[in-house]
Chain A
Amino acid sequence: MKQLLSLTVILAVFWLVNSGHYTPLLLGLGAISIGLILYLSRRMEHVDGEVEPSIVMSIHLPFYLFWLLVEIIKSNLDVVTRVWKGEAAISPTVFKVKASQKSDVCRVLYANSITMTPGTITLDIDGDTFEVHALSEEGKEGVLTGEMDKRVSKLER
């Protein structure tokens, strides 16, 4: 019930922000779409059995996102220089790395963070083992130091 209510509020705000027109017709259409989405998401929950809302709630999250942004900028510059230097500057590797997160949400966050920083892509997830493709040895070492892993695990507490 609580989840249904929060979803309604989020959808209503999303509609109001995106529409910008506050005539009865458009507000009515908004109400109908929200009702439809609520109905569909309830049906989907019956299917996949996920009841809890999958949101990471932690005071560390803003700090993590800021750190991730800095990492993204750094690795962007790295990949950009490799692009302009050409094929000689890259040494693609594939390796496995263990994820220490307990919850699925945080594991997804970690896998997505790896993919989002240019130079590393999560190829496959098998339980707590990620298969990662890196553009260079430096990128591989960056993931293997486990700093990102530790920072994501911190979000679970």
Chain B
Amino acid sequence: MDIFLNVLSWICLLAGGFLGITGAVGLFRFPDFFTRLHAASVTDTLSTFLIIIGLMLQANSLMMIIKLLLVLLIIAYTSPTSAHSLAKSALHSGLKPFLKDKENQNS
């Protein structure tokens, strides 16, 4: 049972780590601010979920699991809010999104 939990936990942690790296790679590869936000949201959502689930499987007390759940909840509430406020303030301060079909017009 212990081995099973350990393996499951490590699968979650490694998958979460891989997604986190993917988000970072996306930050460098994507062309403009708005598309980079999409890459960052991978790190905000599934990557964080998987890492926290992996840590929950390693936890040895109920208190720790509840605290990790709280962390998950707070991230789930704050990350879309901050992403939206970043995008909105970028748009309002005049940053034009890079669009594929109007590439020539924007550059």
Contact = CB atoms under 8 A, between A and B. Distances in A.
Interface of A: 17-18, 20, 72-73, 76, 79-80, 83-84, 86-87, 90-94, 111-113, 115-124, 131, 133, 135
Interface of B: 19, 22-23, 25-26, 29-32, 34-35, 37-39, 41-42, 45-46, 63, 66-67, 70, 76, 79-81, 83-84, 87-88, 91-92, 97-101
A122 B100 contact: no
Contacts of B88: 123-124
Contacts, number: 100
B91 A92 contact: no
A94 B34 CA distance: 10
A111 B70 CA distance: 22
The interface residues of chain A, by DSSP majority, are classed as mixed
A17 B67 contact: yes
Nearest to B45: A72
A119 B29 contact: no
Nearest to B91: A123
